Structure 1
Protein backbone atom coordinates (compact mmCIF):
# COMPACT_ATOMS: atom_id res chain seq x y z
CA UNK A 1 0.00 0.00 0.00
CA UNK A 2 2.83 2.40 0.91
CA UNK A 3 4.70 1.74 -2.34
CA UNK A 4 1.51 2.18 -4.34
CA UNK A 5 1.02 5.64 -2.84
CA UNK A 6 4.60 6.58 -3.72
CA UNK A 7 4.21 5.40 -7.32
CA UNK A 8 0.92 7.28 -7.66
CA UNK A 9 2.46 10.52 -6.45
CA UNK A 10 5.53 10.03 -8.65
CA UNK A 11 3.23 9.65 -11.63
CA UNK A 12 1.37 12.85 -10.75
CA UNK A 13 4.64 14.77 -10.42
CA UNK A 14 5.89 13.39 -13.73
CA UNK A 15 2.68 14.46 -15.45
CA UNK A 16 2.99 17.95 -13.96
CA UNK A 17 6.53 18.31 -15.34
CA UNK A 18 5.81 16.64 -18.67
CA UNK A 19 5.98 19.88 -20.64
CA UNK A 20 9.02 21.26 -18.81
CA UNK A 21 11.63 19.67 -21.00
CA UNK A 22 14.20 22.39 -20.30
CA UNK A 23 13.90 22.18 -16.51
CA UNK A 24 17.37 21.85 -14.99
CA UNK A 25 16.09 19.64 -12.20
CA UNK A 26 15.11 16.80 -14.54
CA UNK A 27 17.66 14.09 -15.15
CA UNK A 28 19.04 14.41 -18.65
CA UNK A 29 16.59 17.13 -19.64
CA UNK A 30 19.30 19.79 -19.70
CA UNK A 31 21.66 17.71 -21.76
CA UNK A 32 23.56 16.39 -18.77
CA UNK A 33 24.74 12.80 -18.89
CA UNK A 34 23.23 10.28 -16.52
CA UNK A 35 25.41 9.84 -13.46
CA UNK A 36 27.31 6.61 -13.09
CA UNK A 37 26.74 4.34 -10.14
CA UNK A 38 23.67 3.53 -8.11
CA UNK A 39 24.26 6.16 -5.40
CA UNK A 40 24.80 9.01 -7.87
CA UNK A 41 21.73 8.04 -9.93
CA UNK A 42 19.66 7.83 -6.74
CA UNK A 43 20.71 11.38 -5.83
CA UNK A 44 19.66 12.61 -9.29
CA UNK A 45 16.34 10.84 -8.89
CA UNK A 46 15.75 12.49 -5.52
CA UNK A 47 16.48 15.92 -7.00
CA UNK A 48 13.59 15.39 -9.42
CA UNK A 49 11.19 13.88 -6.89
CA UNK A 50 11.35 15.57 -3.50
CA UNK A 51 9.70 13.01 -1.25
CA UNK A 52 9.52 15.42 1.69
CA UNK A 53 7.30 17.69 -0.40
CA UNK A 54 5.22 14.68 -1.36
CA UNK A 55 4.60 13.95 2.30
CA UNK A 56 7.02 11.05 2.79
CA UNK A 57 9.88 11.28 5.22
CA UNK A 58 11.94 8.59 3.53
CA UNK A 59 11.88 6.53 0.34
CA UNK A 60 13.10 3.56 2.34
CA UNK A 61 10.34 3.69 4.97
CA UNK A 62 9.01 0.22 5.73
CA UNK A 63 5.44 -0.81 6.52
CA UNK A 64 4.55 -0.92 10.20
CA UNK A 65 4.30 -4.71 10.29
CA UNK A 66 7.83 -5.01 8.85
CA UNK A 67 9.25 -2.36 11.17
CA UNK A 68 7.98 -4.27 14.24
CA UNK A 69 10.32 -7.22 13.59
CA UNK A 70 13.37 -5.14 12.63
CA UNK A 71 16.50 -5.47 14.78
CA UNK A 72 15.23 -8.66 16.41
CA UNK A 73 17.80 -11.32 15.61
CA UNK A 74 16.46 -14.09 17.83
CA UNK A 75 18.24 -17.41 18.14
CA UNK A 76 17.44 -20.66 19.94
CA UNK A 77 19.55 -19.56 22.90
CA UNK A 78 17.13 -16.65 23.52
CA UNK A 79 14.42 -19.08 24.68
CA UNK A 80 14.41 -21.39 27.66
CA UNK A 81 12.97 -24.90 27.56
CA UNK A 82 10.32 -23.96 30.13
CA UNK A 83 9.29 -20.89 28.12
CA UNK A 84 8.94 -22.93 24.93
CA UNK A 85 6.83 -25.65 26.54
CA UNK A 86 4.62 -23.10 28.31
CA UNK A 87 3.96 -20.68 25.43
CA UNK A 88 4.61 -22.50 22.15
CA UNK A 89 3.74 -25.71 20.38
CA UNK A 90 6.90 -26.90 18.69
CA UNK A 91 6.69 -28.56 15.28
CA UNK A 92 9.57 -29.99 13.28
CA UNK A 93 8.85 -30.31 9.56
CA UNK A 94 10.91 -32.33 7.13
CA UNK A 95 10.29 -33.35 3.49
CA UNK A 96 10.33 -37.00 2.58
CA UNK A 97 10.63 -39.26 -0.46
CA UNK A 98 7.11 -40.69 -0.22
CA UNK A 99 5.52 -37.77 1.62
CA UNK A 100 5.22 -34.08 0.82
CA UNK A 101 6.13 -33.37 4.44
CA UNK A 102 6.33 -35.07 7.82
CA UNK A 103 5.79 -33.00 10.96
CA UNK A 104 6.68 -34.07 14.50
CA UNK A 105 4.63 -32.16 17.09
CA UNK A 106 5.88 -31.53 20.61
CA UNK A 107 9.14 -31.94 22.52
CA UNK A 108 8.50 -35.26 24.26
CA UNK A 109 11.22 -37.81 23.73
CA UNK A 110 9.15 -40.98 24.09
CA UNK A 111 5.85 -40.20 22.35
CA UNK A 112 4.84 -37.32 20.14
CA UNK A 113 2.30 -36.66 17.44
CA UNK A 114 3.25 -37.30 13.81
CA UNK A 115 1.45 -35.59 10.94
CA UNK A 116 2.23 -36.16 7.30
CA UNK A 117 0.82 -35.73 3.81
CA UNK A 118 1.68 -38.43 1.31
CA UNK A 119 2.17 -37.66 -2.37
CA UNK A 120 -0.96 -39.71 -3.14
CA UNK A 121 -3.00 -37.55 -0.75
CA UNK A 122 -1.47 -34.39 -2.22
CA UNK A 123 -2.42 -35.24 -5.81
CA UNK A 124 -5.91 -36.24 -4.70
CA UNK A 125 -6.40 -32.99 -2.75
CA UNK A 126 -5.17 -30.80 -5.63
CA UNK A 127 -7.54 -32.55 -8.04
CA UNK A 128 -4.75 -33.54 -10.42
CA UNK A 129 -5.72 -37.24 -10.22
CA UNK A 130 -9.22 -36.51 -11.52
CA UNK A 131 -7.95 -33.98 -14.08
CA UNK A 132 -5.34 -36.42 -15.44
CA UNK A 133 -7.98 -39.14 -15.77
CA UNK A 134 -10.21 -36.82 -17.79
CA UNK A 135 -7.25 -35.70 -19.89
CA UNK A 136 -6.26 -39.27 -20.72
CA UNK A 137 -9.86 -39.99 -21.73
CA UNK A 138 -9.84 -37.00 -24.11
CA UNK A 139 -6.51 -38.12 -25.58
CA UNK A 140 -7.88 -41.60 -26.21
CA UNK A 141 -10.77 -40.14 -28.22
CA UNK A 142 -8.40 -38.44 -30.67
CA UNK A 143 -4.91 -38.99 -32.10
CA UNK A 144 -3.00 -37.19 -29.34
CA UNK A 145 -2.34 -40.34 -27.31
CA UNK A 146 -0.77 -42.10 -30.31
CA UNK A 147 1.24 -38.99 -31.21
CA UNK A 148 2.69 -38.64 -27.71
CA UNK A 149 3.40 -42.36 -27.44
CA UNK A 150 5.52 -42.25 -30.60
CA UNK A 151 7.56 -39.12 -29.77
CA UNK A 152 11.27 -39.98 -30.17
CA UNK A 153 13.46 -39.40 -27.15
CA UNK A 154 15.18 -36.01 -26.98
CA UNK A 155 17.70 -37.34 -24.43
CA UNK A 156 20.45 -38.21 -26.84
CA UNK A 157 23.95 -37.08 -27.71
CA UNK A 158 23.50 -37.94 -31.37
CA UNK A 159 22.74 -34.99 -33.68
CA UNK A 160 20.93 -37.34 -36.07
CA UNK A 161 18.60 -38.67 -33.37
CA UNK A 162 17.88 -35.17 -32.09
CA UNK A 163 17.10 -34.06 -35.64
CA UNK A 164 14.56 -36.89 -35.90
CA UNK A 165 12.96 -35.71 -32.65
CA UNK A 166 12.85 -32.07 -33.81
CA UNK A 167 11.37 -32.99 -37.18
CA UNK A 168 8.68 -35.13 -35.58
CA UNK A 169 7.66 -32.35 -33.16
CA UNK A 170 7.59 -29.66 -35.84
CA UNK A 171 5.46 -31.78 -38.15
CA UNK A 172 2.82 -32.34 -35.45
CA UNK A 173 3.17 -29.01 -33.62
CA UNK A 174 -0.13 -27.66 -34.94
CA UNK A 175 -2.05 -30.72 -33.74
CA UNK A 176 -0.47 -30.55 -30.29
CA UNK A 177 -1.15 -26.82 -29.99
CA UNK A 178 -4.77 -27.28 -30.99
CA UNK A 179 -5.24 -29.85 -28.21
CA UNK A 180 -3.26 -27.97 -25.52
CA UNK A 181 -4.69 -24.60 -26.54
CA UNK A 182 -6.87 -22.01 -24.85
CA UNK A 183 -9.50 -24.64 -24.05
CA UNK A 184 -7.10 -26.02 -21.44
CA UNK A 185 -6.93 -22.67 -19.64
CA UNK A 186 -9.75 -23.39 -17.23
CA UNK A 187 -8.32 -26.82 -16.41
CA UNK A 188 -4.91 -25.32 -15.60
CA UNK A 189 -6.54 -22.64 -13.47
CA UNK A 190 -8.57 -25.23 -11.51
CA UNK A 191 -5.41 -27.23 -10.95
CA UNK A 192 -3.61 -24.10 -9.71
CA UNK A 193 -6.49 -23.39 -7.30
CA UNK A 194 -6.28 -26.97 -6.01
CA UNK A 195 -2.54 -26.64 -5.39
CA UNK A 196 -3.00 -23.39 -3.46
CA UNK A 197 -5.87 -24.84 -1.39
CA UNK A 198 -3.86 -27.97 -0.61
CA UNK A 199 -0.82 -25.97 0.51
CA UNK A 200 -3.00 -23.78 2.74
CA UNK A 201 -4.72 -26.82 4.25
CA UNK A 202 -1.40 -28.55 4.97
CA UNK A 203 0.06 -25.44 6.60
CA UNK A 204 -2.99 -25.05 8.84
CA UNK A 205 -3.05 -28.72 9.88
CA UNK A 206 0.66 -29.43 10.04
CA UNK A 207 0.98 -27.52 13.29
Structure 2
Protein backbone atom coordinates (compact mmCIF):
# COMPACT_ATOMS: atom_id res chain seq x y z
CA UNK A 1 0.00 0.00 0.00
CA UNK A 2 1.51 3.35 -1.07
CA UNK A 3 0.81 6.52 0.89
CA UNK A 4 1.34 10.17 -0.26
CA UNK A 5 4.00 12.10 1.59
CA UNK A 6 2.80 14.51 4.25
CA UNK A 7 2.79 18.23 3.23
CA UNK A 8 5.24 20.46 5.08
CA UNK A 9 3.62 23.16 7.26
CA UNK A 10 6.35 25.59 6.14
CA UNK A 11 5.34 25.16 2.45
CA UNK A 12 1.72 25.95 3.24
CA UNK A 13 2.70 29.12 5.08
CA UNK A 14 4.92 30.36 2.19
CA UNK A 15 2.12 29.71 -0.36
CA UNK A 16 -0.41 31.64 1.71
CA UNK A 17 1.99 34.57 2.04
CA UNK A 18 2.56 34.73 -1.75
CA UNK A 19 -1.18 34.76 -2.45
CA UNK A 20 -1.65 37.61 0.01
CA UNK A 21 1.09 39.70 -1.67
CA UNK A 22 -0.41 39.18 -5.13
CA UNK A 23 -3.86 40.20 -3.89
CA UNK A 24 -2.54 43.42 -2.36
CA UNK A 25 -0.67 44.27 -5.58
CA UNK A 26 -3.81 43.87 -7.69
CA UNK A 27 -5.84 46.09 -5.36
CA UNK A 28 -3.22 48.80 -5.61
CA UNK A 29 -3.40 49.22 -9.46
CA UNK A 30 -4.64 52.81 -10.21
CA UNK A 31 -7.84 53.20 -12.22
CA UNK A 32 -6.09 55.36 -14.81
CA UNK A 33 -4.26 52.29 -16.10
CA UNK A 34 -7.43 50.35 -16.77
CA UNK A 35 -8.36 49.95 -20.47
CA UNK A 36 -10.82 52.60 -21.72
CA UNK A 37 -14.45 51.61 -21.87
CA UNK A 38 -15.82 51.05 -25.41
CA UNK A 39 -17.72 53.92 -26.97
CA UNK A 40 -21.41 53.54 -26.24
CA UNK A 41 -24.21 54.04 -28.70
CA UNK A 42 -25.26 57.18 -26.83
CA UNK A 43 -21.85 58.77 -27.58
CA UNK A 44 -22.14 57.92 -31.27
CA UNK A 45 -25.66 59.33 -31.39
CA UNK A 46 -24.46 62.55 -29.76
CA UNK A 47 -21.72 62.95 -32.39
CA UNK A 48 -24.19 62.37 -35.23
CA UNK A 49 -26.62 64.87 -33.76
CA UNK A 50 -23.84 67.44 -33.53
CA UNK A 51 -22.94 66.93 -37.21
CA UNK A 52 -26.57 67.13 -38.29
CA UNK A 53 -27.07 70.39 -36.40
CA UNK A 54 -24.13 72.11 -38.17
CA UNK A 55 -25.35 75.17 -40.15
CA UNK A 56 -25.68 74.57 -43.95
CA UNK A 57 -23.44 76.38 -46.41
CA UNK A 58 -24.59 79.79 -47.56
CA UNK A 59 -26.79 79.28 -50.64
CA UNK A 60 -25.81 82.62 -52.16
CA UNK A 61 -22.12 81.70 -51.92
CA UNK A 62 -22.77 78.32 -53.60
CA UNK A 63 -24.71 79.96 -56.42
CA UNK A 64 -21.92 82.49 -56.99
CA UNK A 65 -19.39 79.67 -57.16
CA UNK A 66 -21.41 77.81 -59.79
CA UNK A 67 -21.84 80.98 -61.83
CA UNK A 68 -18.12 81.72 -61.78
CA UNK A 69 -17.25 78.17 -62.83
CA UNK A 70 -19.71 78.25 -65.71
CA UNK A 71 -18.38 81.56 -67.00
CA UNK A 72 -14.93 79.99 -67.49
CA UNK A 73 -16.34 76.70 -68.61
CA UNK A 74 -15.27 73.74 -70.73
CA UNK A 75 -17.46 71.14 -72.49
CA UNK A 76 -17.41 68.98 -69.35
CA UNK A 77 -18.75 71.88 -67.29
CA UNK A 78 -21.44 72.43 -69.91
CA UNK A 79 -22.63 68.85 -69.49
CA UNK A 80 -22.84 69.25 -65.71
CA UNK A 81 -24.83 72.49 -66.10
CA UNK A 82 -27.46 71.04 -68.43
CA UNK A 83 -30.94 70.25 -67.07
CA UNK A 84 -31.87 66.64 -66.29
CA UNK A 85 -32.59 64.23 -69.13
CA UNK A 86 -36.25 64.11 -70.10
CA UNK A 87 -36.92 67.75 -69.27
CA UNK A 88 -38.46 68.25 -72.72
CA UNK A 89 -39.01 71.52 -74.57
CA UNK A 90 -39.37 73.31 -71.24
CA UNK A 91 -35.67 72.75 -70.57
CA UNK A 92 -34.40 74.01 -73.94
CA UNK A 93 -34.07 77.59 -72.74
CA UNK A 94 -31.80 76.50 -69.90
CA UNK A 95 -29.77 74.45 -72.38
CA UNK A 96 -29.29 77.50 -74.63
CA UNK A 97 -28.28 79.66 -71.69
CA UNK A 98 -25.75 77.07 -70.56
CA UNK A 99 -24.33 76.87 -74.07
CA UNK A 100 -23.96 80.65 -74.32
CA UNK A 101 -22.27 80.79 -70.91
CA UNK A 102 -19.89 77.98 -71.82
CA UNK A 103 -18.76 79.67 -75.07
CA UNK A 104 -19.13 83.48 -75.08
CA UNK A 105 -19.83 85.11 -78.45
CA UNK A 106 -16.76 85.96 -80.56
CA UNK A 107 -18.09 86.15 -84.13
CA UNK A 108 -19.84 88.89 -86.10
CA UNK A 109 -23.62 88.50 -85.95
CA UNK A 110 -23.92 87.88 -89.73
CA UNK A 111 -21.34 85.08 -89.62
CA UNK A 112 -22.98 83.51 -86.60
CA UNK A 113 -26.41 83.50 -88.27
CA UNK A 114 -24.98 81.88 -91.42
CA UNK A 115 -23.15 79.25 -89.41
CA UNK A 116 -26.17 78.43 -87.27
CA UNK A 117 -28.41 78.00 -90.32
CA UNK A 118 -25.86 75.72 -91.98
CA UNK A 119 -25.06 73.83 -88.78
CA UNK A 120 -28.68 73.05 -87.97
CA UNK A 121 -29.39 71.86 -91.51
CA UNK A 122 -26.20 69.78 -91.60
CA UNK A 123 -26.97 68.08 -88.29
CA UNK A 124 -30.52 67.25 -89.41
CA UNK A 125 -29.19 65.82 -92.68
CA UNK A 126 -26.58 63.77 -90.86
CA UNK A 127 -28.97 62.38 -88.26
CA UNK A 128 -32.14 61.85 -90.29
CA UNK A 129 -30.92 61.73 -93.89
CA UNK A 130 -33.16 64.66 -94.86
CA UNK A 131 -31.41 67.18 -97.14
CA UNK A 132 -28.14 65.34 -97.64
CA UNK A 133 -28.03 66.18 -101.35
CA UNK A 134 -27.32 69.78 -100.37
CA UNK A 135 -23.97 68.69 -98.92
CA UNK A 136 -22.31 66.43 -101.56
CA UNK A 137 -18.83 67.03 -100.14
CA UNK A 138 -19.93 65.91 -96.69
CA UNK A 139 -22.23 63.10 -97.88
CA UNK A 140 -20.75 61.66 -101.08
CA UNK A 141 -23.30 58.82 -101.04
CA UNK A 142 -26.29 61.15 -100.74
CA UNK A 143 -27.66 59.89 -104.08
CA UNK A 144 -27.98 56.39 -102.61
CA UNK A 145 -30.65 55.09 -100.30
CA UNK A 146 -29.22 55.13 -96.79
CA UNK A 147 -31.17 54.18 -93.70
CA UNK A 148 -31.06 57.19 -91.34
CA UNK A 149 -29.64 56.70 -87.87
CA UNK A 150 -32.44 58.77 -86.32
CA UNK A 151 -36.10 59.21 -87.14
CA UNK A 152 -37.39 62.61 -88.21
CA UNK A 153 -40.14 62.23 -85.62
CA UNK A 154 -39.12 63.76 -82.29
CA UNK A 155 -35.83 65.01 -83.73
CA UNK A 156 -35.19 68.39 -82.12
CA UNK A 157 -32.26 70.76 -81.85
CA UNK A 158 -32.42 71.99 -78.30
CA UNK A 159 -29.74 74.68 -78.50
CA UNK A 160 -26.94 75.90 -80.76
CA UNK A 161 -24.25 78.54 -81.07
CA UNK A 162 -21.34 79.28 -83.41
CA UNK A 163 -17.88 80.32 -82.29
CA UNK A 164 -14.38 80.77 -83.70
CA UNK A 165 -12.14 77.72 -83.82
CA UNK A 166 -8.69 79.15 -83.25
CA UNK A 167 -8.72 81.71 -86.08
CA UNK A 168 -11.08 84.04 -87.90
CA UNK A 169 -11.24 81.67 -90.88
CA UNK A 170 -12.34 78.65 -88.85
CA UNK A 171 -15.48 78.12 -86.79
CA UNK A 172 -17.31 75.44 -84.87
CA UNK A 173 -21.03 75.09 -84.34
CA UNK A 174 -21.96 73.57 -80.99
CA UNK A 175 -25.33 71.80 -81.03
CA UNK A 176 -27.35 70.08 -78.33
CA UNK A 177 -30.14 67.91 -79.67
CA UNK A 178 -32.59 65.07 -79.09
CA UNK A 179 -33.73 62.16 -81.23
CA UNK A 180 -35.00 58.60 -81.48
CA UNK A 181 -32.52 56.08 -82.86
CA UNK A 182 -33.24 53.00 -85.01
CA UNK A 183 -33.85 50.89 -81.93
CA UNK A 184 -36.62 53.23 -80.79
CA UNK A 185 -34.64 54.73 -77.90
CA UNK A 186 -35.20 58.42 -77.36
CA UNK A 187 -32.28 60.40 -75.93
CA UNK A 188 -31.90 64.13 -75.40
CA UNK A 189 -28.95 66.38 -74.49
CA UNK A 190 -26.76 64.90 -77.23
CA UNK A 191 -23.79 67.18 -77.99
CA UNK A 192 -22.33 67.52 -81.50
CA UNK A 193 -19.67 69.89 -82.88
CA UNK A 194 -19.57 70.71 -86.60
CA UNK A 195 -16.55 72.48 -88.10
CA UNK A 196 -16.50 75.06 -90.89
CA UNK A 197 -13.90 77.06 -92.83
CA UNK A 198 -14.42 80.52 -94.25
CA UNK A 199 -13.84 81.29 -97.92
CA UNK A 200 -14.87 83.91 -100.43
CA UNK A 201 -17.15 82.85 -103.27
CA UNK A 202 -18.43 85.37 -105.78
CA UNK A 203 -17.24 88.17 -103.57
CA UNK A 204 -19.21 86.96 -100.57
CA UNK A 205 -17.89 85.22 -97.47
CA UNK A 206 -19.06 81.64 -97.28
CA UNK A 207 -18.72 79.05 -94.52
CA UNK A 208 -18.02 75.55 -95.84
CA UNK A 209 -18.56 72.50 -93.61
CA UNK A 210 -15.66 70.10 -93.14
CA UNK A 211 -16.20 66.38 -93.67
CA UNK A 212 -16.74 64.55 -90.41
CA UNK A 213 -14.03 62.00 -89.65
- TM-score interval (norm. to shorter): under 0.3
| TM-score when normalising by structure 2 | 0.19
Larger Rg computed on CA atoms: 2
Determine which structure has the larger strand proportion and give its number. 2
